[in-house]
């Protein structure tokens, strides 16, 4: 899945016929093992940076222009942007994620003395729940930090990227995606406290088992609006609960608070959203313990319970994800669940090593028969966060 660096450089030179020095960067995607839809509720999440992501080749310019080109969207051609006009433009498509970083830096008073050419190529499937947009945002944050000597930390870059996603792009996400893409550690997942940004590395594999990422390949249409709706519902519930509980985030509540919370909220939809949030927080803690104990069966059970909660209480799965997860379970996975925002995108399954090919084949056929869509599968390793790639 790793892109050949020489090929990337040659592709850059085909688009930008300049003679300037250029550098190559890589920003991973991410998979969240457990702890879904709670990063904006101050919860603990357990993601890892993965070995598919976004490559960027960058060359400095002598003017204040930015030229962007994506090999993933060749029909959009070369997008030319001026430092004096960094406002969002629908016709700029994917480049708005990159432009938003520059806009936010300028708004914060950072000095951007010159522009750059950026060639982008990603091997992350878009709208998959593997954070292709956050991967691009953190990539451009890292590039700008290097080119302009901005002295940002990796967490600063993650927060900058989240701010762009929330404000510039209008997607009210939490900090998880950007934080793991900036701070990932090879062969590890990070237990993240999204209320404090504290991160604890953990070995994130089970001996004898493989984690398969399964892509529904279903083209989501309402993800952003539904995602923002869930954020709003949690915010409404929090305001009601805060009249009786001295809390800042929903995830400060415990499972034994649920009976009292149900009486406070009265609205069954808001209660189900809160019930998912609180129980998912506990599942994340239990999953960390299962990982430390190398208890794959318990971890699998927690994956199953997480998916059931996301399906029934949070209502973010849908036919395609539910079909994929059920197919994986029927094929012998010890656990499976949606990963990411939901409404399509990807799921993960924990499978015995010697059953991987059979499970993939059976899931493929079951899912195709039910939906008429061919799923895709990815076997990934866990990687370091965004970085410059050393090359000759």
Token pair belonging to 95: 């480049």
Candidates 146, 122, 144; CA nearest to 133 is 122
Q: Give dist(CA 313, CA 261) in Å, integer.
A: 15
In eight-state DSSP terms, residue 129 is S
Token couple for 265: 């909220």
313 part of the active site: no
Half-sphere exposure of 301 (CA within 13 A, CB side): 6
Q: Please check whether residue 69 is in contact with residue 120, taking contact to mean a CB–CB distance below 8 angstroms.
A: yes
Terminal alpha carbon distance of the chain? 21
Q: Which of 11, 39, 177, 313 is catalytic?
A: 177
Residues 6+ apart with CB under 8 A from 267: none
Q: CA-CA distance, 229 to 102, in Å (whole number)?
A: 28
Nearest to 351 by CA among 337, 332, 365, 338: 332
Catalytic sites, residue numbers: 177
């Amino acid at each position: 899945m790793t892109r050949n660096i020489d090929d990337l450089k040659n592709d850059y030179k085909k688009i930008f016929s300049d003679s300037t020095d250029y550098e190559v960067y890589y920003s991973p995607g991410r998979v969240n093992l457990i702890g879904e839809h709670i990063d904006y509720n101050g919860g603990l999440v357990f993601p890892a940076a993965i070995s598919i992501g976004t490559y960027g080749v960058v060359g400095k310019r002598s003017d204040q222009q930015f030229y962007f080109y994506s090999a993933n969207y060749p029909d959009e051609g070369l997008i030319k942007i001026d430092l004096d006009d960094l406002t969002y433009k629908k016709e700029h498509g994917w480049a708005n994620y990159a432009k938003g970083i520059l806009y936010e830096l300028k708004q914060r008073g950072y000095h951007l003395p010159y522009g750059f050419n950026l060639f982008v190529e990603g091997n992350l499937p878009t709208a998959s729940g593997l954070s292709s947009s956050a991967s691009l945002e953190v990539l451009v944050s890292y590039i700008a930090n290097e080119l302009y000597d901005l002295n940002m930390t990796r967490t600063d870059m993650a927060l900058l990227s989240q701010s762009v996603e929330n404000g510039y792009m209008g997607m009210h996400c939490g900090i998880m995606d950007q934080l793991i893409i900036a701070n990932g550690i090879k062969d590890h997942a990070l237990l993240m406290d999204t209320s404090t940004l504290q991160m604890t590395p953990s070995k994130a594999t089970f001996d004898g088992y493989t984690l398969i990422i399964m892509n529904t390949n279903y083209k989501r249409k309402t993800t952003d609006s539904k995602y923002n709706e869930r954020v709003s519902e949690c915010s409404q519930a929090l305001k009601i609960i805060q009249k009786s509980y001295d809390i800042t985030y929903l995830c400060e509540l415990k499972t034994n608070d649920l009976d009292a919370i149900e009486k406070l909220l009265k609205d069954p939809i808001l209660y189900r959203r809160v019930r998912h949030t609180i129980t998912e927080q506990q599942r994340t803690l239990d999953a960390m313990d299962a990982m430390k104990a190398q208890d794959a069966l318990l971890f699998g059970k927690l994956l199953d319970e997480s998916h059931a909660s996301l399906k029934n209480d949070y209502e973010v799965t849908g036919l395609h994800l539910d079909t994929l997860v059920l197919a994986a379970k029927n094929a012998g996975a010890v656990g499976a669940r949606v990963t990411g925002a939901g409404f399509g995108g990807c799921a993960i399954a924990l499978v015995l090593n010697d059953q991987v090919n059979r499970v993939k084949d059976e899931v493929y056929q079951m899912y195709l028969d039910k939906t008429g869509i061919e799923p895709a599968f990815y076997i990934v390793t866990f990687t370091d966060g965004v970085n410059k790639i050393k090359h000759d």
